[in-house]
Amino acid sequence: MAVKLGMVIDAASCIDCKGCQAACKVANQVPDGHWRNWIKRGDEEKAALDRQGLRFQPGNCMQCDKPTCVAACPTGATYKEAKDGVVRIDRELCIGCGQCLAACPYQARYRHPQLRVADKCDFCAERRAAGLQPACVDTCPTKARVFGDLNDPDSPAGRLLRGKASVQVVNQQSNTDPNLYYLGDPGPADWPVQAKMPTPWQFWKSLGGPALEALVGLTGLGVIAMYGRQLILGDHDQPPEHASGHPEGGDHDQHA
Amino acid sequence: MASKQFMVSRRGFLKLGVGAAATATAGGLLKARPAGAQGGLKPGFESKFTVCDMCFNKCSAIARVGDGVVRKLDPNPKFLKSRGMLCAKGNAGLHQLYDPNRLKYPLLRVGERGQGQFRRISWSEALDLAAAKMGAIAKEYTRCGMLFMAGADMQSTFVHRFAEAFGSYNVISHESNCLLSNNRAFLDTFGEVPIPDVLNSKYILMAGANRFESLVTPDSIDLMTTLREHGCKLVVLDPRYTKTAALANEYHAIRPGTDLALMLALMHVLINEGLYDKQFVAEKTYGLEQLRTHVQSYSPEWAAGQTDIPAEAIRRMARELAAAAPAAMVYPGRRSSDYANSTQIRRGFAMVNALLGNWDRPGGLTAARVVGLKGGIPLEAPFYEDNPPERVDSGQARLMFEEEGSFKLTRDAALKGEPYPIKGFFAYHVNPMQTGANRRKTIAMLNQMDFVMVMDVAMTDTAWMADLVLPSQTYLERLDPASAQQGSSACACVVQRDPVAPAMFEAQPVFFVVQELAKRLELGEHFDFTVEEFRAAQLADLPDAPQALAEDGVYYNPSRLYGVYEGKIYKTKSHKIELFNQRYAEAGLDPMPVYTAPAQPPAGQFRLVVGRNALITQSSSTSNALLLQMQPDNDLWIHPDSAARLGVKAGQRVAVTSPAGQQVLTARVTHETRPDTVYMHTGFGVMSRELAAYGRGGCIAAVLVDAVDEISGNMAMHETFVQVAAA
């Protein structure tokens, strides 16, 4: 069976220390104010009132089997790696149009302000190439994040999936079949949004199919069209808040 | 804040987009886009061991270095004490190394003290000046007129050595603003300061500690492991709903300052219900009968009225603790600079553990393990006969640690000029302007000095007040002595620090400074060695250590963990674990802790408590470019009922006022604190305009009053009552 890289996460082990977020920022040189990964948390005010405890939920791009971001990409820059299932972005092909940002139900993507391309977690491709674990997994104090080949029952992640109840966190309208699994109760589960697919491109793509995609990718034609589209549509093209990645880095933003 | 930044970058993006599109059409498709900005780890990077210095834990880490630049800091998977992790602060370490605001050159003050006007001078000028000033102080006020203060750093030992050679007894560490009363209490019960075996514990009662936010290795990690995998029960008592409270099995918002009432009530139940470890207590402890009488009035019903914890819950806790003992503990905690009777409060913690026999066995408190690291190159300090007989803070606290001193009592003595004047100050890697309660007094102390010299990585608030500021190398640039570490069931080990990146600017290690000062003050013979030679002397009894350190970044001593005290006497007066402390009785102190209800805040006021989260190491981390993105400031936690009474809304600016001073910060209206208690994180509200955190949040030291623990001389910060009003 093909390799399918994924993550199995024990949310109950997460202490919300932000080690994974800091490690990711450094490893991937994620620009200020943007994040490739996150720790979601439940309603802390309610938890403090009820004394029922609070769960912290680490996450990042879910490297979905049915990735809406790939479908939304007009140039083929966003693609699913055949050898391991990781959803990657080819920065040479990405035109920074932002369609994939809206198409991701998990708000896992942001637009890199300097490089002007979409960016997101790729399970630390560079580190993996060097034989290292993804930075968030490597650094996690409580090893709440476990990484590996989900198709290999003997990989660290595969072992955890075997025989233990696990869930995916999805939006019912946009079930992308993610490859992030949570053991037991994942904590907050109602946050994924419905994927916002770029209708004009869906229409054009339905006419042209892969041929059009290839054309757009290989020539500059579509690129100019896309920049024009950005200028015309301006902010409407942007998912409002989440385009900045996940601002809930520290405690502060949560409380403000 | 993040969304604001985004607005800017989005506009920038669109502008850039136009330009890039033009480039793309002119230059041929998209190749004009910068490609080099991606990726830290290029093939061929080197991996070098280092030891983190972002807090006191000293975790072994691996620096990934490419082209002489540290690209990433990773955990050392072979380092058992951290359980192979590196926290957010550890990951942010390279932002300390490459901080554009770090101190680069020696700086001499040119304006008024505290105005932040300095000029760059050469190292030789700086060292000549410092030696001359210190010599003049020694001549006029005796050598004890110089006060030395060094933080928890692997080179602080050289500052202590210098002070001793120079001839001043007045050396203080950061610890009297932190944990000394806790150490005092456990030392005066068990004869040593124990290390908790969290991993193997089945029941942990945690009061006055926040282990899932204020990370201590291996305790923080082991706590989660034992909760998840060993079925341990965690009970947290805290006036604040911390992340530790949120992840506990049981949580009580205890009234602040009443922990001792709870401990006495637990002992009441354990003794009266016969739940204590009778054999252990009979064989190994002293004073059960006195304690039995002592705790009779401290019933759970009585304690419930003090603590706001139901009597039934207290009784159940005692029974549950006893059922799990000896694999159980009242967690000893770390920072105890809270109340004026904090030693006696922590004695209560220690005594519950003693009654249950949670000692020297799996899952309880363990004795320090043998590491085998020696003290380095011995010093034969000169004798100066004109010196006064004692430290300047001597005789103020009843049982102060002479080798640690008391920041609070030293500062008071310096301000009075009694018993003798303190006119010079050398601070290294420590920032009492931020960590010492009552900042006004610290400023006054520094202002009455003839000479203030501060060495640090950044322009801290204490450096901001200095006459001479010296740039320190960061831990990633330094060769440091070896350090022994205690990790209970994780390990007893040695780490050492080698440089992983070339030193930047004119930064130097403090060893260079004290060596050069020693030469100029005719003390050169006491520093006639290299750091390598010092380290070799430390490792003299551990022949296998150098190879292990080179290969694994850590040397383990497989020394005994449990049963260390089998057949041995305890280092106390009775040679047993002291429930009744005879030395206290002789000194006129309560030999068993007597409960006095804490004063309650006057009407309309609140008790201020302080703490931190996993992103904060007091002021040393809050200007870090990466950590600042996650923790951009601190705010005042206030309960919704209290806020409503004051007409304060969430996000509103509020003035927090105590007899020590006032700070203005943003209100965070939350059920996560009690109605009678407000809370602030440490490390913000800085005075130094050279720090990225300048203009953010409020400073704890500017509002905390400086009460003191009468036994240890430890600062007592939570004795502060504040008024809160819309600003």
Which of A127, A31, A21 is CA-nearest to residue B45?
A: A127
User: Of the ranges A57-71, A229-243, B693-707, B711-725, which one carries the lowest mean pLDDT score?
Assistant: A229-243
Q: What is the pLDDT of residues B399-449, one digit of tens each?
A: 999 999 999 999 999 999 999 999 999 999 999 999 999 999 999 999 999
- Give the one of B9, B35, B91 whose C-beta lies nearest to A22's C-beta: B91
Higher pLDDT, A206 or B378: B378
Find out whether B697 and B633 touch, Cβ atoms under 8 Å: yes
Could you tell me the residue ranges of all domains in chain B? 194-341+354-369, 605-726
Catalogue all structural domains in chain A, each as residue range(s) with its CATH number: 5-187+194-245 (3.30.70.20)
Q: Please tell me the predicted confidence (pLDDT) of residue A202.
A: 56
**A47–B contact, CB cutoff 8 A:** yes
Contacts of B213 in chain A (CB under 8 A): 15, 17
Q: What is the ipTM of this complex?
A: 0.92
pLDDT band at B567 (very low <50, low <70, confident <90, very high): very high
Output Rg (C-alpha) for chain B, integer angstroms: 26
Q: Please tell me the predicted confidence (pLDDT) of residue A205.
A: 54
List, as ranges, residues 169-208 from A with C-beta within 8 Å of B: none
Beta strands across the sheet bearing B424-428 = B118-120, B107-109, B468-471, B451-456, B424-428, B146-150, B171-173
Beta strands across the sheet bearing B203-207 = B250-252, B233-237, B203-207, B328-330
B194-341+354-369 has which fold?
Dimethylsulfoxide Reductase; domain 2 (3.40.228)
Q: How many percent of chain A have pLDDT more than 70?
A: 78
Q: Please tell me the predicted confidence (pLDDT) of residue A255.
A: 33
Chain A interface test: which of B4, B33, B69 (most A C-beta within 10 Å):
B33
Q: Does B676 have pLDDT greater than 50?
A: yes
Q: Report which secondary-structure segment, H or E, holds B203.
A: strand B203-207
Whole-angstrom distance, CA of residue B65 vs CA of residue B54: 19
pLDDT band at B461 (very low <50, low <70, confident <90, very high): very high
Q: What is the pLDDT of residues B493-532, one digit of tens each?
A: 999 999 999 999 999 999 999 999 999 999 999 999 999 9
| Average pLDDT for B473-487 | 97
- Residues contacting B128, CB < 8 A, separation 6+: B520
Q: How many percent of chain A have pLDDT more than 90?
A: 73
| Average pLDDT for B149-164 | 96
Min CA distance, A95 vs chain B (Å)? Answer: 8
Whole-angstrom distance, CA of residue A134 vs CA of residue B61: 16
Min CA distance, B189 vs chain A (Å)? Answer: 33
Find out whether B393 and B410 touch, Cβ atoms under 8 Å: yes
Q: Does B9 have pLDDT greater than 50?
A: no
Contacts of A23 in chain B (CB under 8 A): 72, 74, 86, 88, 91
| Average pLDDT for B204-215 | 98
Q: Please tell me the predicted confidence (pLDDT) of residue A1.
A: 75
Q: How much is the pTM?
A: 0.91
Q: Please tell me the predicted confidence (pLDDT) of residue A144.
A: 97
Both structure tokens of B477: 């640039």
* pLDDT mean across residues, chain B: 94
Whole-angstrom distance, CA of residue B18 vs CA of residue B588: 81
pLDDT band at A164 (very low <50, low <70, confident <90, very high): confident
**A18–B contact, CB cutoff 8 A:** yes
Q: Please tell me the predicted confidence (pLDDT) of residue A200.
A: 63
Whole-angstrom distance, CA of residue A176 vs CA of residue A183: 19
Contacts of B31 in chain A (CB under 8 A): 92
Contacts of B66 in chain A (CB under 8 A): none
B605-726 has which fold?
Barwin-like endoglucanases (2.40.40)
Whole-angstrom distance, CA of residue B636 vs CA of residue B655: 10
Q: Which residue of A has its CA nearest to B88?
A: A19
pLDDT band at A210 (very low <50, low <70, confident <90, very high): low
* DSSP code, position B494: E
Q: Please tell me the predicted confidence (pLDDT) of residue B650.
A: 97
Chain A interface test: which of B4, B9, B244 (most A C-beta within 10 Å):
B9
Find out whether A38 and A192 touch, Cβ atoms under 8 Å: no
- Chains A–B, number of C-beta pairs less than 8 Å apart: 223
Q: How far is CA B434 from CA A61, B267, B685, B687, in A?
A: 40, 38, 9, 9
| Average pLDDT for B697-702 | 98
